[in-house]
A and B are shown apart, each in its own frame.
Chain A
């Protein structure tokens, strides 16, 4: 069984500060995918990034960056120079790869981190 832990329930920072959201995962599978989603107050789930278990390269996209460390089973997400529009609940999620018979397992989500960016 898979498990995703987001220990930070809520984080509040002042605009322009950098903030890191932690994600620790557990799985016995050697092939898996990790995701981050943003859920703003409007409720939709916005896909941010997908990383497979064989790709430990860190990634940067604008003010967003992700640090994947297999050794510590972590996939942390950093927002640089935060903005009020970054306020949302952020979910880390995990999925294992299923090859037999086609189809795919659903995502296992963490409990989410509520990020509040104060002006």
Chain B
């Protein structure tokens, strides 16, 4: 069965650069979530989209933005990168917007800021 696809899997950027992470949800899933997991930490919810509209906002820095496109894939744009942005970034998708059902996660993008 198709899973959540994230690209790239690994990314190395310098401070103050920008990065774009992509997420392709499971087919027919209408909701996408982004999470950030620092080293040794639990995943922290950043933002979610339902039917291409922003649904909920968590602890997403103002330097980050995200959107969901007409084909339901989503992109997380990160600007003015800081060392503290180094983390594993997960995307998850689920069906039936308005109610969290199973939330399946992608394999994550490991971002290293140097």
A and B physically associate: yes
Interface residues, chain A, with chain B CB atoms under 8 Å away: 33, 35, 37, 43-47, 50, 91, 95, 97-99, 102-112
User: Are A106 and B45 in touch, CB under 8 angstroms?
Assistant: yes
Number of A-B pairs whose CB atoms are under 8 Å? 91
Q: Indicate whether B105 reaches chain A with its CB closer than 8 angstroms.
A: yes
CB-nearest residue of chain B to A111: B42
Contact status A109-B56, CB under 8 Å: no
In the bound complex, do residue A50 and residue B102 qualify as a contact, i.e. CB atoms below 8 Å apart?
Answer: yes
Main SS at interface, chain B: strand
Secondary structure dominating the interface of A? loop
Enumerate chain B residues within 8 angstroms of A106, measured Cβ to Cβ: 33, 35, 45-48, 56, 58
A110 in contact with B48 (CB, 8 Å): no
Q: Is B82 an interface residue (CB 8 A)?
A: no
Given contacts A43-B107, A103-B97, A103-B98, contact A98 B56 (CB under 8 A): yes
Complexed CA–CA distance, A109 and B36 (Å): 12
> Is A107 a contact of B45 with CB atoms below 8 Å?
yes
Chain A residues with Cβ under 8 A from B104's Cβ? 47
Residues of B within 8 A of A47 (CB): 102-105
Task: Please determine whether B98 and A99 come into contact, CB atoms closer than 8 angstroms.
Answer: yes
B99 at the interface (CB under 8 A from A): yes
- Bound together, the chains give a CA A97 to CA B59 distance in angstroms of 19
**Residue contact A45 to B100, C-beta cutoff 8 Å:** no
Tell me which residues across on chain A come within 8 A of B74, comparing CB atoms. none
B111 contacts partner chain A, Cβ-Cβ < 8 Å: no
Interchain nearest-CB distance for A11 vs B (Å): 16
